[in-house]
Amino acid sequence: MGIGLPEFLSIELATEHPQVIPISVFIVILCLCLVIGHLLEENRWVNESITAIAVGAVSGTVILLISKGKSSHILVFDEELFFIYLLPPIIFNAGFQVKKKKFFHNFLTIMSFGVIGVFISTTIISFGTWWLFPKLGFKGLTARDYLAIGTIFSSTDTVCTLQILHQDETPLLYSLVFGEGVVNDATSVVLFNAVQKIHFESINGLTALRVFGNFLYLFSTSTLLGIGVGLVTSFVLKTLYFGRHSTTRELAIMVLMAYLSYMLAELFSLSGILTVFFCGVLMSHYASYNVTESSRITSRHVFAMLSFISETFIFLYVGTDALDFTKWKTSSLSVGGTLEVSGVITTLVLLGRAAFVFPLSVLTNLMNRNTQRSESLTFKHQVIICWAGLMRGAVSIALAFKQFTYSGVTTDPLNAAMVTNTIVVVLFTTLVFGFLTKPLVNYLLPHDESSQNTGNSRCKQSAPGSPKEDATLPLLSFDESTSTNLSRAKDSLTLLIEQPVYTIHRYWRKFDDTYMRPVFGGPRPVNQPEC
Amino acid sequence: MGIGLPEFLSIELATEHPQVIPISVFIVILCLCLVIGHLLEENRWVNESITAIAVGAVSGTVILLISKGKSSHILVFDEELFFIYLLPPIIFNAGFQVKKKKFFHNFLTIMSFGVIGVFISTTIISFGTWWLFPKLGFKGLTARDYLAIGTIFSSTDTVCTLQILHQDETPLLYSLVFGEGVVNDATSVVLFNAVQKIHFESINGLTALRVFGNFLYLFSTSTLLGIGVGLVTSFVLKTLYFGRHSTTRELAIMVLMAYLSYMLAELFSLSGILTVFFCGVLMSHYASYNVTESSRITSRHVFAMLSFISETFIFLYVGTDALDFTKWKTSSLSVGGTLEVSGVITTLVLLGRAAFVFPLSVLTNLMNRNTQRSESLTFKHQVIICWAGLMRGAVSIALAFKQFTYSGVTTDPLNAAMVTNTIVVVLFTTLVFGFLTKPLVNYLLPHDESSQNTGNSRCKQSAPGSPKEDATLPLLSFDESTSTNLSRAKDSLTLLIEQPVYTIHRYWRKFDDTYMRPVFGGPRPVNQPEC
């Protein structure tokens, strides 16, 4: 979404700085969005995304009328602006605000939904479109296009559902939906980039394996880079203690380093999303304890604000873009054809989602059955998880623009058709599914019942030092008798087999408290684990 | 300072996003600057600006070596980026953080220094350069150029001195230097723009009057626009109370509206600097009381951080730009000639500064003699005020680029010479005068003595309800007997004549408490005036 100036607006006054008018108009609309979003907060149906899209569509119409049908845009889409300026704050904020304990407790489940899920969904959507598009008379797309379409429509937008779920009432559900949302975005983008690297001329049996290898390489290196930058920042902040002189410097360092992690990842052609996400996790885990109280408060709000503005900006853009008649005219499809194709995509999105949520949920419940945990995913939860991932949003739009346009412009009818299809799908899923989310969640999880359905009540009941928390103790007490230690070691070995994630998490906690926190910062280790 | 990519750096990896490399390099250098600045905080000679310029020069040299003498730049100068993205946060922050009470107490003095001072300084520098440049063999500049040079070198950079003065120890001095710095920047830019509008073909006796009229128009409308946007923001924040749902929205609104005020001013060809400054003053006076506690803390730090990053960025750029050999080669002057011309400019800057600081200080002291205030500007204070305004900084650079280049590039030898001269003057004043500032201030105002020299001690002694503060009382007590009121009214009339600014300030306070604050927000009116 670069800065472009519609001809009709270029009045003499602002000739010196041509960006001034579109920036002003966009800021006014953004403010309008904020105010309307605030006024509709209590509303049963509407959420932030829907408000932004609606305000975007209305302003698009106004601009269309003023320009006499020439243009509905204030800004010209520029996927570079999206990937370099708008996406990093959103993802970094996700990492920075994530409830790390819950996230890592449910790590395996989240990863299976976020990674395996995207692979399954991409496969179903790619094959489905490849099989069905020609039958609808929509022909001419290449194999790369179909694979790209698969990844484009596998990235979900869970913001809408997260606004409705209550983190305190349904912590397991919330952390799964939140965690999957982030991992899913990262996986989709990484997979999209992996698809771009396939040489379709020399395709053979190894190609799938190579894509997967490429994916693993990108995934691990990006994660490591994010962790590295996060640790360096924490170390620098802890060692130099900027707060002695000014909290401004602390803040500046945090913001700049966060952004640098993304830029470095892009520089080395890694996945900036993953890097900046893990950088955010590390920073909130270590760095935020090394700064002054006011820096801690400020950083949290700054990242939240940047993320909020970026998100609103993107949905606003989607709203104005829906009225871009140039693309509709260029498109090879009629309006009816577009609706048919979009319908097919939406159906495939539904199928692709259901195809992995329910089997993987059953698998998760099976894995958890052996453990002492009572937190299992009920069918209602599974429906909500499935539903939460039906919305398509900013990442889909950005990837579609990246695949099918050159800086937001395309003259190819096929590509224009795919862009309009993406916009229709995003609009439909966000508006229709988005509207239904609040009623659905309220129906499935009435406020009174919800806290009993989840593991939350159990967590609230269990005092600090509940059975599972005690699993840390064996390793913390080195000065006890050998026999006690031995029997405890046996216990913890048994636990490791029965509750792999939980036990690994305990070991990690110990390692963290003993080696990491003294170097990189953090709250003083407490023996009383939080609930 | 737009984003440009030196050829040698455009390795294959980052072809997709050409901005990635320069942004990464610049962020790394910025972080380096922050760390070095922090480590040298306690140092007797060095300040932020000098650190940034030095780091910039070193990185410029490194890039020069890597590129084998081709380029010393990471970023290409773009005055648009400066005026649209870097300057607004700096000025807004100045307005937001200004100690309003002190600022408005000394309003007349600040305005006379900031406005009349710039006029005197511009006149001296313009005539001086017009008279002396041809004698040095530097010919060919137009009348407009000479006037522009006058305004370019009349904008001061007081950041360096402000870092050294102690706001608590020398509040009068601090508020004068700070206030003059802001008003001076605004006046220079407004005057620069007024000079651009002169039609030199039809110049006559009315031209000077027209420039002054234009200046007054710009000054008043810009101020009103800033006040308007500030009031609207405060009103919206107070009425809607965003904090009920999220502090993120509050923050977003404040940041967006602040930026909008600047953009609107630019849109209507007013002075964005003045607008955004007064918008900042109004927002901190009203709006910041309408938001949640965390938003208040966050907003203060966010604006400080943005301003800090922008300033560092600019000085870094000046550092790298000093090594731009293309400009040196294009310049019509030899190195010796440049030093001569720069020497003349620096001398004129000194003269122009002294020519108004001392007379205006004497005038201020005369005006204050009749009042009960003991705060007069001692000769030491006058020397410090004069010194504080000797440094030239970012605004000079930006105006010079605006006058003499087209997006940072010039092929005209005369223009290139003026750009290099500006850079030399900025470097010389910032480095040499900057180095001497700390020792000078410490010599003139030793820590023990300083608080006695200023009005501060008196202010500290006077309990709430000191004589001058009582001047508000007459108007606050409507229910007293008429005779008392009459005699008090007489008193306050006498005060109005003797202490015009103070009494106006009292009336304003009353108006503010009665009418403004209930509508636009603020702390509950207290009868105990703060010291």
Q: Mean per-residue pLDDT for A295-307?
A: 90
| Mean pLDDT (chain B, rounded) | 78
Residue A292 has pLDDT above 90, yes or no: no
Residue A8: CB atoms within 10 Å: 12
Mean pLDDT of B382-396: 87
Q: What proportion of chain A, given as a percentage, has pLDDT over 90?
A: 16
- Select from B186, B271, B191, B182 the least CA-distant residue to B226: B271
Q: Is the pLDDT of residue A472 over 60?
A: no
User: CA–CA separation, B95 vs B255, rounded Å?
Assistant: 14
Is A249 in Cβ contact with B34 (below 8 Å)?
Answer: yes
The C-alpha atoms of residue A173 and residue A377 are separated, in whole angstroms, by 8
Residue of higher predicted confidence among A372 and A515: A515
Question: Can you read off the two tokens belonging to residue A111?
Answer: 């990863």
Nearest to A304 among B248, B255, B297 (CB): B248
The b-or-e profile of B302-314 (16+ CB within 10 A means b, else e) is bbbbbbbbbbbbb
The CA-atom distances, in angstroms, between B71 and each of A76, A409, B62, B418 are: 32, 34, 10, 20
Among B264, B296, B305, B406, most A C-beta atoms within 10 A, so best to mutate, is B305
Over residues B513-531, the pLDDT tens digits come to: 888 888 887 775 444 443 3
% of chain B at pLDDT higher than 90: 17
First-last CA distance in chain B = 44
- Token pair for A165: 């779920």
Residue B125, pLDDT > 90, answer: yes
Can you give the pLDDT at residue A485? 55
Q: Which string of b and e fits A219-251 if b means at least 16 CB within 10 Å?
A: bebbbebbbbbbbbbbbbbbebebbeebbbbbb
| Residue type at position B395 | V
B 174-193 near A (Cβ less than 8 A): none
For residues A32 and A221, give the distance between their C-alpha atoms in angstroms, rounded to a whole number.
41
CA distance A159 to A137: 35
CB-CB: which of B263, B295, B297 is closest to A23?
Answer: B263
User: Does A191 score more than 80 pLDDT?
Assistant: yes
Residue of A nearest to B246 (CA): A38
What's the confidence (pLDDT) of residue A456?
37
Name the token pair of A433: 């599914």
Evaluate if residue A6 carries a pLDDT over 70.
no
pLDDT at residue A350 in the model: 93
Q: Inspect the interface and report whether the beta carbons of A301 and B308 lie closer than 8 Å.
A: no
Closest-CA distance of chain A to residue B373, Å: 34
Distance CA B415, CA A109 (A): 65
pLDDT score of A358 more than 50: yes
Residues in B closer than 8 angstroms to A35, CB to CB, are 236, 240, 253
Do residue A38 and residue B309 have CB atoms under 8 angstroms apart?
A: no
Indicate the pLDDT class of residue B13, thresholds 50, 70 and 90: very low
- CA distance, residue A365 to nearest chain B CA (Å): 36
Cα–Cα distance, A107 to A88 (Å, whole number): 22
| Cβ neighbours of residue A12 closer than 8 Å, sequence gap 6 or more | none
Nearest-angstrom CA–CA distance, A216 and B175? 59
Using CB atoms, which residue from B242, B255, B260 is nearest to A24? B260
For chain A, state the CA radius of gyration: 24
Say whether residue B120 is in contact with chain A using an 8 A CB cutoff: no
Instruction: List the single residue in A with minimal CA-CA distance to B294.
Output: A297
Pick A23 or A471 by higher pLDDT.
A23
What confidence score (pLDDT) does residue A75 get?
63
Domains of chain A, CATH where assigned: 7-67 (no CATH), 79-444 (1.20.1530.20)
- The answer to whether residue A480 scores a pLDDT higher than 70 is no
Chain B from 261 to 320: CB within 8 A of any A CB? 263-264, 266-269, 294-295, 297-298, 301-302, 304-305, 308-309
Phi, psi of B2 (to 5 degrees): -75, 180
**DSSP H/E element including A75:** strand A75-76
Q: Which residue has the higher pLDDT, A358 or A195?
A: A358
Amino acid of residue A160: C
Residue B501: which residues within 8 A CB-CB, separation 6 or more? B105, B106, B107, B108
Q: pLDDT of B208-253, one tens digit each? A: 788 788 888 888 899 999 999 999 999 998 888 777 777 888 889 9
pLDDT of residue A201 exceeding 80, the answer is: no
Pick from A43-47, A428-432, B51-55: least confident: A43-47
Is the Cα torsion angle A493, A494, A500, A503 positive or negative in sign? negative
Tokens of B118: 């710039």
pLDDT higher at B17 or A260:
A260
Mean pLDDT of B383-404: 86
Distance from C-alpha of B464 to C-alpha of B484, rounded to nearest angstrom: 22
- DSSP letters, B261-297, are HHHHHHHTTS-HHHHHHHHHHHHHHTGGGSS-HHHHH
With CA atoms as reference, report the closest residue to B170 among B378, B365, B387, B361.
B378
Neighboring chain A residues of B13 at a CB cutoff of 8 Å: 267-269
| pLDDT per position as a tens digit, B476-487 | 333 444 555 566
Q: Does A39 touch chain B (CB under 8 A)?
A: yes
Check residues B469 and A266 and name the one with the higher pLDDT.
A266
Examine the pLDDT at A451 and tell me if it is beyond 60.
no
Q: Hey, of B17, B19, B21, B255, which one would you mutate to test binding to chain A, going by the most A CBs within 10 A of its CB?
A: B17
Nearest CA in chain A to B42: A245
Give the distance from residue A87's alpha carbon to the nearest chain B alpha carbon, in angstroms: 14
A163's tokens: 């606004």
Rounded to whole angstroms, the Cα distance separating B7 from B14 reads 12
The CA dihedral of B116, B345, B390, B367, to the nearest 10 degrees, is -30
Identity of the highest mean pLDDT range in A287-296, A368-377, B44-53? A287-296
Which residues on chain B are in Cβ contact (under 8 Å) with A242? 34, 38
Using the predicted structure, report yes or no on whether residue B448 has a pLDDT greater than 70: no
Q: What's the confidence (pLDDT) of residue A12?
A: 35
Residue B267 CB neighbour total at 10 angstroms = 19
Burial class (CB in 10 A: 0-12, 13-18, 19+), A378: middle
Beta bridge partners of B409: B406
A43 to chain B, any CB pair closer than 8 A? The answer is: no
pLDDT band at A73 (very low <50, low <70, confident <90, very high): low
Instruction: Give burial (CB, 10 Å; 0-12/13-18/19+) of B440.
Output: middle
B16 neighbourhood in chain A, CB within 8 Å: 269
Question: pLDDT-based confidence at B126, cuts 50/70/90?
Answer: very high
Q: Write the Ramachandran bin of A521: left for phi over 0, alpha for psi from -120 to 50, otherwise beta.
A: left
Q: How much is the pLDDT for B249?
A: 87
> How close is the nearest chain A Cα to the Cα of B272, in Å?
11
Separation between Cα atoms, residue A465 and residue B171, nearest integer Å: 56
In B, minimum Cα distance to A82 occurs at B17
The count of C-alpha atoms lying within 13 angstroms of the C-alpha of B390, restricted to the half-sphere facing its C-beta, is 25
For residues A73-94, average pLDDT: 78
Question: Which comes out higher in pLDDT, residue B459 or A49?
Answer: A49
Helix axes B171-196, B143-152, angle to 10 degrees: 160
State the pLDDT confidence band at A398, using cuts at 50, 70 and 90.
confident
Q: Does A197 touch chain B (CB under 8 A)?
A: no
pTM: predicted TM-score of the whole model, two decimal places: 0.79
Name every residue whose Cβ is closer than 8 Å to that of residue B284 and which is 6 or more positions away in sequence. B95, B96, B97, B98, B100
Supply the pLDDT for residue A348: 94
Question: Does residue A468 surpass a pLDDT of 50?
Answer: no
Residue of A240, A267, A407 to mutate, testing the B interface (most B Cβ within 10 Å of its Cβ): A267
Provide, as residue numbers in chain A, all residues whose Cβ is less than 8 Å from the Cβ of B34: 242, 249, 252-253, 256
Q: Among residues of chain B, what percentage have pLDDT more than 70?
A: 79
Q: What is the DSSP string of B311-326?
A: HHHHHHHHHHHTT-HH
How far, in Å, are B138, B160, B453 from residue B173 at the CA level? 39, 14, 10
Gap from A311 CA to chain B (nearest CA, Å): 12
| CA-to-CA separations, A286 to A195, A247, A302, A362, A525, in angstroms, rounded | 35, 17, 18, 35, 12
The number of residues making up chain A comes to: 531
Nearest to A155 by CA among A343, A395, A315, A349: A395
Contact at CB, A17 and B252, closer than 8 angstroms: no
**Alpha-carbon span A212 to A267, nearest angstrom:** 22
Q: Confidence band (pLDDT; 50, 70, 90) for B452?
A: very low
Please judge whether A301 and B30 are an interchain contact, meaning their C-beta atoms are less than 8 angstroms apart: no
- Picking from A12, A25, A32, A38 by the largest number of B CB atoms within 10 A of its own CB, the best residue to mutate is A38
Interchain contact B80–A (C-beta under 8 A) = yes
Question: Could B267 and A20 be called an inter-chain contact, meaning their C-beta atoms sit closer than 8 Å?
Answer: yes
Instruction: Say which residue, B411 or B375, is predicted with more confidence.
Output: B411
Q: Which of the four pLDDT bands, split at 50, 70 and 90, describes residue B275? A: very high
Highest-scoring range by mean pLDDT, A411-420, B249-258, B333-342, B445-454: B249-258
pLDDT at B14: 41
Give per-residue pLDDT as tens, A97-131: 877 777 777 888 888 898 899 999 999 999 999 99
Kindly tell me if the per-residue pLDDT of A29 is higher than 80. yes
Of A68-82, B179-193, B261-275, B381-395, which gets the smallest average pLDDT? A68-82
Residue A11 has pLDDT above 80, yes or no: no
pLDDT reading at A231 higher than 90: yes
**Which residue of A37, A252, A297 is in closest CB contact with B34?**
A252
Residue B373, pLDDT score? 54
pLDDT band at A425 (very low <50, low <70, confident <90, very high): very high
pLDDT at residue number B272:
85
Strand ranges inside B130-198, DSSP E? none
Nearest to A418 by CA among A145, A198, A190, A147: A145
Collapsing DSSP to helix, strand or coil, A166 comes out as coil
**d(C-alpha A113, C-alpha A360), whole Å:** 7
B519 in contact with chain A, both atoms CB, cutoff 8 A: no
HSE at residue A449, side-chain half, CA atoms within 13 A, is 8
Distance from CA of A205 to the nearest CA of B (A): 28
More confident residue, B265 or A408: B265
The tens digit of pLDDT for each residue in B35-54 reads 888 888 777 667 777 888 88
Given a cut of 70, is residue A481 above it in pLDDT? no
A57-66, A141-150, A451-460: segment of lowest average pLDDT: A451-460
DSSP code per residue over B52-67: HHHHHHHHHHHHHHHT
- Is this complex's ipTM strictly greater than 0.85? no
Among A23, A83, A267, beta carbon nearest to B13: A267
Tell me the C-alpha distance between B18 and B26, whole Å.
14
A to B CB pairs, distance under 8 Å = 150
| Residue among A19, A242, A251 whose CB faces B38 most closely | A242
**Chain A residues closer than 8 Å to B255 by CB:** 305, 309
CB contact at 8 A, A148 and A188 = no
Q: What is the pLDDT of residue B233?
A: 93
The mean pLDDT of B249-260, rounded to a whole number, is: 91
Taking every pair of C-alpha atoms in chain A, what is the biggest distance, in angstroms? 88
User: Which pLDDT score, from 0 to 100, does residue B224 have?
Assistant: 94
Does B251 sit within 8 Å of A24, measured CB to CB? no
pLDDT of residue A477: 37
